[in-house]
Chain A
Amino acid sequence: MTKMLQHSGYEEERLQRVAELLPCREVQAGMLLSLMGQPQQCSYPSIFIYGHRASGKSHVMQVLLKELELPHATVSCVECVSVALLFEQVLLSFFGCDAASLLPRSPSLSDFVRIYRQHCSQTPAKQTRYIVMEKAELLRDTDANLLPALLRLQELVDDNVTIILLSEIVWDKFRPNTGCFEPLLLHFPDYSKGELQQILSQDKHPSYSAEFYSSYINILLGVFYSVCRDLRELRHLAALNFSKFCEPLAEGKVKETDTHKLWRNIEPHLKKAMQTVYLREVSSLQWEQLQQMEERECGALRGLSAHTHVELPYYSKFLLIAAYLASYNPARTDKRFFLKTCFSYKINKFVVDSRVAPTASIFSQISSLVTLQLLTKVSHDDQLDAPKYKCAVSMDFICAISRTVNFEIIKYLYDFL
């Protein structure tokens, strides 16, 4: 089933192991290997790999570099809050902490290149060094010179080094408008249903046969494949629901081979999982507890989004309603709606009864509402004298709020006239 990877630079055994660890990615791995060439050969400066989430980009890279024992540094760009961290990690994994400690406090790219060259001349590369950058799309937000420089790092440091960028976004979205060195592009396509089946079947439960687990995966994919093709997510779901699948087996009602009965048992359960645990309405821990409980008790557990009710102080409710109206009604229609009660306010338009004095608490309530993300500030932060806010709640929410204070908001909304 597994195609053999063949490459002259590496031992057969290792390649064999790599191939086993990379099911359904033999083509890509082979391609990469041929791009990389033999360890001592000089490699292409930069390779760009893209593909959807959980399509095996990082995994393939990790396995290749680890199993073949190539010198490499893996950096996740999310983690690099500053370029300093990026440089440090690269230097650390290539030259040890001596090199990393040479970096000045806020290093520039040239500092990095200087130190790299310095160490590189002391310990020249016998093999190609690889720098793998995960979530490379974040590099676009860093300094404009970083990405072009990394793409031709080989020239800059004069070393046999290859940058491998991993991203979920196509290269076209990366290309800086000043132009840059074009990396080799490599696409990791999504796994097909069959491939997913093959991969998922590999992590079988130790106490059940492989065929049994495979049939379980088949059922699982039948339910979830239409909504989710994320391998990681599917694997998670498989793990969560397996015990339920095995239940009739444990009770001795069904044999392992009786797939139809097993399917009848698990199918409604999986459908329910799709609405709850897959959306993270219910946590996996609760889901497991739920499975142990009786069916009738299941209704008691409500998902996260079921709790939308928010208790607010009385005036805050009115503030919010007023803000909502002010945000969605054109200002000129104010007169029409609130001929009597409205008093226009420099910050906001209030419907609050004019008896309410604008006290400090009211003002602080506005800022509390901002903190709670119910209002958002639209004017600039340093504009102190006339802040402007916008109401950030949904129609349903505001209707629920106004119902509690007996205010018929629909009557006052311009869009509903």
Chain B
Amino acid sequence: MSTSSVSKGCFVFKPSAKKKKTLSLEDHFSHGCESAESSEKRFKLCQDLWDKIKSDTEVLQDDLNRKILDSLLDFTRKCSSTRQLSDWASQMRASEIPTAALVLGVNVPDHDMTFQSLSELLQQSVTPHVASVQAKECGALKHLMKRVLERLMGTDVTVDDEEEEEAEQTSTPLHKSVHCSLSTLCDWYKTKTKKSNTPGKKRSSPSRDDPQQPPVVIIFKDLEAFNPKVLQDFILICSRYIERLPLMFIFGIATSPSTIQHMLPHSVSSLLCIELFQSLSCTQHLATVIDQLILTHHFPFKLNAKVLQVLMSIFLYHDFSVRNFIKGLQLALLEHFHSQPLSVLCCKKKDALLNVMQLSHSDLERIRNLPSFKRYVEKQEPQEQVNLSKDDTHLKEVCQKLIKGLHKYHKNYYPVLRCLHTLTSSLPRYPLGKQVRELHLICLEKNVWENEDYQTAMKLLRMLAKDELVALLQRCVEILQPVKSKKMKNAFLQLTDLLTKFKQLDTVAAEPPPCVEEPIISPVRNLQKKTDLFQLQKTLLEMNESRRAKKLSPFEVLRNEALEFLDNLVKSHLSPPESHTLNEVCYYTSSATVRRHLNATPRTSIQAALNSPYYYLQNDRLKTVDGSVSNSAPDICIAYKLHLECGRLINLYDWLEAYATVVSAAEGNNPDSDNYGKVEEVKHARFIRAVSELEFLGFIKSTKQKTDHVARLTWGGC
């Protein structure tokens, strides 16, 4: 009944060994690694980078979750404090169970982390009694009850060490499941709170709130998956104990809060005091992650457009899971360092320069073979070309220079990217995308300024009013200001200059605007007379022309100047990485690998196995020249191959005969003999087995339309 997303666990790649501490990760890494000599170094680089990515994302996650978690914590505190108020109103409605409905979005794989930090925070600052339950472990009320009790009473024993002995003496033994009722929990709670009230109590953390009555929080991680009946009964039971046990619920909701009303009838929901908490949407979350991890020069490791596209599409089309996105990033990182020997240079500039000097001859040969380097060489003088291909030390020096260039490129790329994004993201219809990542993808693919959308964006920018433009430029200035590179500082100065000029316009150009209105008005007058569409278009074009030809106002001059400046900035800094020499060092390009690993296609693999059993069985006899299946292939392969030639309905008898013929040929029987192609018992049995296997794999199914026929279910390549 409760199936959680398979995508949580379908990553089959190397770091899975991380869990086994006994096996050295490094061994795994260097196994089958290109160019083993530098593998150690690469492994270290990779590890460091991954650690950094991991810690960064964790910090990021915490930051993003902070707001909602804080409000949740406030809610729990408030609930536990109002409960103890003795005023009339709060006493009157004390029977409601405070409930926080936490809407988290459909990216289920990410929720675990949120709940983890939530329960940790709760334990730290509000109450030691927190239990979280999942739907799949609570099929029946009994199980739910048991889990809640186990988590509450069990964890507490292990967490608070000094209380362990006492707890063992006083608390009723839980292993006897007969006692699995909330009254047991009540008793336990009573002893617990009494104990912490006694003088000389050791617990310090929750004392800030109300040490006497810390609430008991139960977190339902996936509300939708719970059996409504179980949940209703549980709530009914809990409401009976609410006076003795300060319970509190947190519902994790993936879809929408209205599910609560779908699941719980009014008689039950009236027992709850539900407050809604909406978490950050996952797209925003991803945008922040991309902003921090990908759109920065701090990480030397980069993805090219295709890989990024694959990761993005998995996110947008499939799971909305930021966690999976980061996993994908990790995969790309590992693959890059594993398969690219030159990735030793993919690190901080200082280290990279050092590493260049330590490159071996074979590594240098690899550099010479890099496409980007070849292109570079071709542009050099003949003498230099010879030097580069012969002299290793000279090559190293050049490499250092090139690496420096690459780093400089990255340093300038991102600020300019952001500037361009600020300018274009507010334009109507978003010619260059709403998000920075879309613009980034465009820039990665080819020269952005050759893009048609870029031209339209520029056109639109040329129509901006002054205050809008100034505001945008101001934001660009803010982006450029903290950047340390020389070129960006220069750009910053120029932009501020332009901005001041814009501002001066107000004071200086108080003079009346030049009389440009005349030429515009006259065609408009003409326009009224004309009714024909073609004429209208023509006049409009003329108007456009005349406007262009007319004398520009100082603001327009300045605007053009500013945009010209920005255009130049884009042209000089936003060239795609492929145009830069040695980009292969930093950019991971194999989108197919990533796709294959992250977005597995089970059917394709099955079909591949059936079509070419040789690769799977490693048997030379199965190898065929033209790619067809040999006669001696496994039965299922032959049956599969034969079924491909059939239409929608397959006559079983024909199929069997064809099969028998093929198999007879494989046995080397004489085609002329009587037995050839005869169906005997063994063949019959083998055929039936093959057919049922195919049915199991979902290629055929029995049909009621015709007896002794089966229906074929798959066509084409997918």
**Could you tell me which A residues sit within 8 Å of B by CB distance?**
53, 76, 78-79, 81-82, 84-85, 88, 103, 105, 203, 205-206, 232-233, 235-236, 238-240, 242-243, 279-280, 283-286, 288, 304-305, 307-316, 343, 346, 354, 356-365, 367-368, 370-374, 377, 381, 385-386
Contacts and interface: CB of A to CB of B under 8 A. Distances in A.
A78 B178 contact: no
B272 to A, nearest CB: 7
B273 A283 contact: yes
Nearest to B715: A343
A371 B222 contact: yes
A413 to B, nearest CB: 23
B105 to A, nearest CB: 6
Interface stretch (B61-69, B254-262, B421-429, B479-487): B254-262
Given A280-B269, A310-B255, A357-B604, A85 B181 contact: yes
Contacts of A357: 601, 603-604, 718
Given A79-B181, A235-B92, 14 more contacts: A79-B182, A82-B142, A105-B176, A236-B96, A238-B92, A239-B92, A242-B89, A283-B99, A283-B272, A284-B96, A313-B316, A358-B718, A360-B601, A372-B225
Contacts of A315: 317-318
Which 5 pairs between the two chains have the least Cβ-Cβ distance? A239-B92, A364-B6, A367-B3, A360-B600, A361-B318
Nearest to B10: A360
Given A79-B237, A314-B317, A373 B255 contact: yes
A285 B318 contact: no
30 contacts: A79-B237, A81-B180, A85-B181, A236-B93, A236-B95, A239-B89, A239-B93, A283-B99, A283-B273, A284-B273, A288-B89, A304-B260, A305-B261, A311-B320, A314-B317, A315-B318, A346-B698, A359-B599, A359-B602, A361-B319, A364-B5, A365-B319, A367-B5, A371-B4, A371-B108, A372-B108, A372-B224, A373-B262, A377-B1, A385-B698
Contacts of B1: 377, 381
B702 to A, nearest CB: 11
Nearest to A365: B318
B718 A233 contact: no
Interface string B235-259: 0110010000000000000111111
A53 B716 CA distance: 62
B318 A236 contact: no
Interface stretch (B274-282, B455-463, B626-634): B274-282
A368 B96 contact: no
Nearest to A362: B318
Given A236-B93, A371-B222, A286 B5 contact: no
A373 B259 contact: yes
Nearest to B313: A314
A250 to B, nearest CB: 14
B125 to A, nearest CB: 20
Interface string B587-625: 000000000000111111000000000000000000000
Contacts of B267: 53
A304 B102 CA distance: 12
A133 to B, nearest CB: 14
Contacts of A364: 5-7, 10, 319
B105 A311 contact: yes
Given A311-B105, A371-B3, A361 B93 contact: no
Contacts of A343: 715
Nearest to B273: A283
Q: Which of A53, A358, A361, A377 has the most chain B CB atoms closer than 10 A to its own CB?
A: A361
B522 to A, nearest CB: 44
B600 A280 contact: no
B88 A285 contact: no
B92 A203 contact: yes
Interface string B690-713: 000001101001000000000001
A342 to B, nearest CB: 12
A84 B177 CA distance: 10
Contacts of A242: 89
Nearest to B282: A311
Contact of B178 (A88, A206, A284, A313): A88
A79 B240 contact: yes
B93 A240 contact: yes
Contact of B237 (A78, A243, A316, A359): A78
Contacts of A363: 6, 602
Interface string B75-86: 000110010000
Given A315-B318, A367-B5, A371-B4, A283 B274 contact: yes
A228 to B, nearest CB: 10
Q: Which of B254, B256, B262, B601 has the most chain A CB atoms closer than 10 A to its own CB?
A: B256
Interface of B: 1-7, 10, 78-79, 82, 88-89, 92-93, 95-96, 98-99, 101, 103, 105-106, 108, 135, 140-142, 145, 176-178, 180-182, 222, 224-225, 233, 236-237, 240, 254-262, 266-267, 269-270, 272-276, 278, 281-283, 314-320, 599-604, 695-696, 698, 701, 713, 715-716, 718
B335 to A, nearest CB: 19
A103 B317 contact: no
Contacts of B256: 307-310
Given A279-B266, A304-B276, A310-B106, A81 B145 contact: yes
Contact of A360 (B4, B7, B176, B270): B7
Nearest to A203: B92
A372 B254 contact: yes
Given A79-B182, A81-B141, A304 B257 contact: yes
B606 to A, nearest CB: 11
A367 B718 contact: no
A233 B575 CA distance: 68
Given A88-B178, A360-B7, A305 B281 contact: no
A359 B103 CA distance: 28
Contacts of B269: 280
A108 B257 CA distance: 43
A354 B318 contact: no
A205 B92 CA distance: 10
A212 B695 CA distance: 78
A116 B270 CA distance: 39
Nearest to A361: B318
A284 B176 CA distance: 39
Contacts of A377: 1
A255 B93 CA distance: 27
B192 to A, nearest CB: 20
B284 to A, nearest CB: 11
A302 to B, nearest CB: 8
A305 B6 contact: no
A346 B702 CA distance: 12
Contacts of B95: 232, 236
Contacts of B237: 76, 78-79
Q: Which of A235, A238, A243, A313 has the most chain B CB atoms closer than 10 A to its own CB?
A: A313
Contacts of A236: 92-93, 95-96, 270
Contacts of B181: 79, 81, 85
Nearest to B268: A280
A164 B497 CA distance: 90
Contact of B225 (A84, A105, A354, A373): A373
A177 to B, nearest CB: 24
Contacts of B603: 357-358
B438 to A, nearest CB: 15
B260 to A, nearest CB: 6
Nearest to B240: A76
Q: Which of B240, B258, B320, B698 has the most chain A CB atoms closer than 10 A to its own CB?
A: B258
A368 B107 CA distance: 9
Contacts of A354: 716, 718
Contacts of A203: 92
Contacts of B7: 360-361, 364
Nearest to A88: B178
Nearest to B602: A360
Contacts of B276: 304, 307
